[in-house]
Structure 1
Amino acid sequence: MKTAKLLAITWLAAGLTGCATVSTTRSPGVDLQAAWALAPAVNNTETPQAGARLDSLTASLLRVHGVRNLSVYPAARSGDALFDQADRAAQEKAMAWAREQQARYVVAGSVDEWRYKVGLDGEPAAGITLSVTDLSTGQVIWSGSAARTGWSREAVSGVAQKVVNELLDQALVPAR
């Protein structure tokens, strides 16, 4: 009987948090007071403008996590375009732009899943990768990917916000 209760409590706890997978490198520590830039996200999904949604969410959450000096790359996204125009080449242009802005760090990302799963419940699912490049060395100093599903009554953007928050919690460790 005790085993059945323990199993039920474990299952309930896992169910309340949703299914999530997070993999990151260890952050060497960053200067939150430095100049930061956000490159346009690559949309690897079939969901229109998922990259633009990730950009907006990431910019907001970077500020919430203490990044005050943030420049967002003025990506050439058309409101009429069904799919994002950002790709790896656009991210390289954004890196050059960030150097012109004298940014120390650039955050780049991609969206690998942004949808409601097909089925009776239609759970929201988001899969996102982020990386931080130190422009003083040109090296990627942190990278991570995370995926999460939520409950059928949750929005994809809410699930994505949890994913980005989890990633930024790992990336934005202040330098000592």
Structure 2
Amino acid sequence: MRKLTFIILAAIVSLAGCSTYRGSNGVTVSNGSTFAVMPFVNQSNTPLAAENVGTIICSELSAKNINYVAYESADEPKDLKSILDDSYTTRKANDWLKTVSHNYVISGSVDEWNYKAGLDGEPVVSVTIRIKDINGNVVYEKTGSRSGFGRESLNGAGQKVVENILSDINYSR
């Protein structure tokens, strides 16, 4: 009987995937605050991973009825210099940030965004989200990592990580 219980418990844990979260406990913001979503830094080997995370963050904020404005890089020129210069988008986004009304800034990095090699091909994601107040002080920072299971999509695993991290935003009335 103990062996059967252990097998069932092991199956449940393996199906749930492994997740790890480290960082601040949460942040309390006033209701009606506006968040400016900055471009994330892509430190993974997957092209456009940072753009995927930015889209997921905007979707999660929208689902929570949180006001946000997001930097759009679609208008940026795609010449060789801007592509090779890693700080180009950051400089442009910082210029944009000065022109929009906001109370908090969301930024961060995508540290891992791919599938494990091998037969299982499980999705593996790691995202760091940082929230700064209007004065540039970091009020919240958390890193979340998740290794999903074989049939889970990469963006699905990423969405669970972002959703968990953003669940720490609390509102005061």
TM-score by length of 1: 0.84
Offset, 1:38: 0.2
Cross-structure match for 2:149: 151
Mean CA deviation greater in 72-81 or 114-123? 72-81
Q: Distance between the aligned counterparts of 1:124 and 1:42, measured in 2?
A: 20
1:70 to 62, 68, 71: 68
Specify the code of the residue in structure 1 equivalent to 2:155: S
Distance 1:96 1:80 in 2: 19
Counterpart Cα distance in 2 of 1:153 and 1:125 = 12
What are the ranges of 5 or more consecutive residues in structure 1 without an aligned counterpart? none
Equivalent residue, structure 2, for 1:173: 170
How far apart are the structure 2 equivalents of 1:110 and 1:145? 9
Match of 1:163 in 2: 161
CA shift for structure 1 position 88: 6.2
| Alignment partner of 1:38 is 2:71 | no
Number of residue pairs matched? 170
In 1, Cα distance between the equivalents of 2:97 and 2:137?
14
CA spacing shift, 1:156–1:32, aligned 2, 3 Å: farther
In structure 1, distance between residues paired with 2:58 and 2:34: 13
Structure 2 gaps of 5+ residues are: none
In structure 1, distance between residues paired with 2:85 and 2:166: 22
Counterparts of 1:85 and 1:142 in 2: how far apart (Å)? 31
For residues 84 and 59 of structure 2, what CA distance do their matches in structure 1 show? 21
| Aligned positions of 1:44-55 closer than 5 A | 44-55=43-54
Structure (1/2) with the larger strand percentage: 2
AA in 1 matched with 2:105: V
Q: Compared with structure 1, are the counterparts of its residues 46 and 100 closer, same or farther at alpha carbon in structure 2 (3 Å cutoff)?
A: same
Instruction: Assess, with a 3 A threshold, how the Cα gap between structure 1 residues 41 and 14 changes in structure 2: closer, same or farther.
Output: same
Q: Identify if the C-alpha distance between structure 1 residues 98 and 110 changes in structure 2 by more than 3 Å, giving closer, same or farther.
A: same
Q: How does 1:11-160 map to 2 (within 5 A)?
A: 11-67=10-66, 69-75=67-73, 90-91=89-90, 93-135=92-134, 137-160=135-158
Aligned-CA RMSD value? 2.5
Q: Please, what TM-score do these two structures have when normalized by structure 2? A: 0.86
